[in-house]
Structure 1
Amino acid sequence: MTDVEIPPAAKMHELLTGFQVSQALFAVAELGVATALLDGPREVNDVAAAVGADADTLGRIIRFLAQLGVFRTSGDTVEITDLGRTLADGPADSLRNVARYFHQTHYAPFGSLLHTVRTGEPAATAYLGKPFFDWVMESPELAALQNDAMAGFTQNARGDLLDVYELPEGRTVADIGGADATLLVELLTGRPERRGIVFDLPSTVAGARPTVQAAGLDERVEIVAGDFFESVPTADVYVLSAVLQDWDNTASLRILRNVARAAPAGAALVVVDMVVPEGDAPHPTKMIDITMLGMLGGRQRSESEWRRLLADGGFTLQRVVSGSGSYSVLEATLA
C-alpha cells in the first residue's frame, strides 16, 4: 500500500489550521493531562475527573491529538506516547512550562504578525502596547514562569553541547542574562577552581538564589543585578546564552560592546545560540526565528551573520561547536 499524496489545497488547509493544534496542546498542558497519564493507560472519564475537565470535550481533544502522535487510544482508554510525555511534569525533556508560557504570552500577540511584516515592529509590541519583556516583568508570576520555561527549553535544545564543549581558561565566569543561574551552576559543577557571576535584571536574577543554594555554590557564585544595556561586571569568561537571539543587531551590538569594555585582556566570549544553516531544508532555527521576529524583534543568524556581528561588537569568532541539539557555541576573543 502506497502513501496517498495530499492535494496542495488540503495541505494548505492543514497548515492554516495549525492554530488549533497549538490551542489543543496548550489546553492539555495547562490541565496536566500528560502528567495524569504517566503511570499508565486510563479511561478518558477517569482522566477528565482527575484534571477537572469535561469528559466528552477532553475525549475529542485527545482523539484530535492522537493522530499527531501525542496520545494512543484504544476504545475509551488513552495512554501517553513519548511525544506526549514532553507535556508532563517530571520527564527531563518536559516542555510543559514552555507550552503554558506560550499560551499566556505568545499566542495572542501573534495575531498581529501582519503588522510586523508591514512595519517591522514586533507583533507583541503592537498588541501589548509596550515591549514584550517590559510587559512580562510587570507580573512576578509571568516572570517566574518565563524563567522556568526558558531554562527547560534551552537545556533540552542544547542537547549534549556542554558535554562536547569545554569553557576557555579563566577563573571567573560571568553568565550575562543568566536568569535563575541554571546554566552557570551546570558550568561550575565539578570545576572547583572557577567562580561565577550571574547577572540579570533585578526581577529576573532574584530567582538565582535558590538555584545556587541548592547546588551548594553560595561561596563561589555572586548574584549581581543590573542591565546589560548599561554595563556588565568584569570577568575572564563571558557567557551569553540565548540572549542575543532576543535582540536586533543594533541592540545586540550595545550588549557586545559593553562586554568588550568590561573585559580584561585575554578574556573570552562564549555565545550559546543558534546558527541558521543555508538553504531551504527544515531546521528548528527557522521556526524560532519567526518567534523572535514576532515577539521581540530579535533574530536567528547564520554563521556569516554571527561573524560580522561579533566583529562589529569588538570580537573575533574563533570557532563554532555544535552538539546534538539546536544550539551551538560560538567562541570568540577580544579583537
Structure 2
Amino acid sequence: MSTTEHSAAGSEEAPAVNFPALTDVVTPFAVRCAATLRLADLIGAGSRDAAALAESAGADPAALARLLDHLCVAGLFAADGDSYRVTAAGAVLREDHPAGLRATLDLETFVGRSDSSCANLLHSVRTGEPGYQKTFGAPLWTDTVAHPELVTGFEHLHEMFGAWSEPTVTGGFDWASAKQVVDVGCGHGAVLRRLLLAFGHLRATLVDLPEIVARAEQSLGEAGLGDRVSGAPGSYFDPLPEGADAYLLSLIVHQEPHERAVALLRRCADAAGSHGTVLVMQAPVTPANRFAMTALDLRMLVTVGGRERTVDQYRDLFAEAGLRIAGQYAGGSESPVDPVLFACVAN
C-alpha cells in the first residue's frame, strides 16, 4: 500500500484532529475572563482604550491589554491602535445577546464555577468521585445554596432549560387527564411554571432542598400560581408525597450516579404506585449528539458524580427501579441535543 493509500485509509478510521485546539487551556479561560469582566458590554458599539476599559472593569491595564490581544487573534475583539472594539463574533459575549452565553461563561456564577472544577477531572477519573468538592471544599449543591450569587446563576440556567424543554414537557404527555403533579427536584420552578400556565387545572407539589423550595414558591407566586402549588421541602431520597398522577423529574436523573439514580426512581415508583406515572425528562446520548453529550457526561462526573445515558441505558435503569417506559415524547427541535420525556409506569 502506498503512503497516499495508507493516509486515506487512516483518515476513514480516524478523522483529522486539530490537536493544538483540543489541548488549548488558555483560550477557553480567556473567553471566560472577558465574559466575567463584561468587556463586550463595557466597550459597547464603539471602541475603548485599554486604560479606560481596565478602570471600568476593575482590572490591571497591562494585563487586560494582554488578554484582549489574545482575544483579538481569536477573532472576538479587534484592535484600533491602543483601543479595542467588539467584532461580530464577539458580540455573543454581550449580556443582551439572544444566545444568553455571557452569564454561563461568567467564572463567578454557577456554571462558571462548575467549569473551574474541571481542573480536577483527573481526581474524578481516578476515584469516580466528583472533583467539585476537591476544588471548592464543599459539594456543588451545598456550595451553591451558601452563595446567593451562585443561586442566581443556577436560576438563570434553569430558565434556559425551562424554555428549551417546554415543547417536550407540555406537548406529548396527556396532562388533561392529570390533576396533581409532584415536581421532584423542582429547582426554582422554571419548568413547572410553564407546565402550570399551559394547563390551568393542574396543581403541584414542590420537592427540593428547603432553600430551593422557598425560592420556587416565591417565583411561582410572582407568576400568579401560588395558590396552585405547595412545598414539601426535603431530600428526594426520602419518601415522596403519595397518590399524585405524575412525578416529574426534569434533568434530575443525570445528576446522580447509578445507585442513587435507581434509589431515586424507586422512591418515585413507590409514591406513584399503580396509578401514577413517573415522567423523566432528559436528553439521551445519540449518534448525532455524541460529542456534546460525552463532554456533558464528563462535566456531570466532575461536578456531581452523575452521568448521561442512551435511551437503552435509561430503559435498563428504569427496569432496575421497577419501571417500564409506557410512552416517549420529544419536542421536535432541530437541535441534536433534544430532550425526551419518558413516561414510566410500574412493571
Same fold (TM over 0.5): yes
Aligned partner of 1:265 in structure 2 is 274
Gaps of 5+ in 2: 1-14
Q: Alignment partner of 1:175: what SS?
A: strand
Aligned partner of 1:5 in structure 2 is none
Name the larger-Rg structure: 2
Percent pairwise identity:
25
- The change in CA–CA distance for 1:188 and 1:72 in structure 2 (over 3 A counts) is farther
Q: Is the 8 A contact 1:270 1:329 kept in 2?
A: no
CA deviation map 1:106-125 (0-9, x unaligned): 34432322222222222224
- The change in CA–CA distance for 1:203 and 1:125 in structure 2 (over 3 A counts) is same
Matched, 1:41 2:46: yes
Q: Distance in 2 between matches of 1:93 and 1:155?
A: 15
Letter in 1 for 2:40: A
Q: How does 1:1-335 map to 2 (within 5 A)?
A: 11-17=18-24, 19-37=25-43, 40-45=45-50, 46-71=52-77, 76-79=83-86, 81=88, 84-85=91-92, 87-100=93-106, 101=109, 105-128=113-136, 130-137=138-145, 139-141=146-148, 143-155=150-162, 157-158=164-165, 161=168, 165=172, 168=175, 169-234=177-242, 235-278=244-287, 283-317=291-325, 318-324=327-333, 325=335, 326-335=337-346
Q: Is the 8 A contact 2:183 2:205 kept in 1?
A: yes
Letter in 2 for 1:24: A
Q: How many pairs are equivalent? A: 323
Gaps of 5+ in 1: 1-7
Letter in 2 for 1:40: A
- The change in CA–CA distance for 1:328 and 1:308 in structure 2 (over 3 A counts) is same
Q: Distance in 1 between matches of 2:239 and 2:77?
A: 48
Q: Distance in 2 between matches of 1:239 and 1:82?
A: 38
Q: Is the 8 A contact 1:95 1:153 kept in 2?
A: no
- The change in CA–CA distance for 1:161 and 1:330 in structure 2 (over 3 A counts) is closer
Greater helix proportion = 2
CA deviation map 1:193-222 (0-9, x unaligned): 112222211122221133112211111122
- The change in CA–CA distance for 1:237 and 1:82 in structure 2 (over 3 A counts) is farther
Per-residue deviation, 1:243: 0.7
Q: Alignment partner of 1:269: what SS?
A: strand
Give the structure-2-normalised TM-score: 0.80
- The change in CA–CA distance for 1:199 and 1:159 in structure 2 (over 3 A counts) is closer
CA RMSD of aligned residues (A): 3.1
Q: Distance in 2 between matches of 1:82 and 1:239?
A: 38
Letter in 2 for 1:289: D
Letter in 1 for 2:39: V
Give the structure-1-normalised TM-score: 0.83
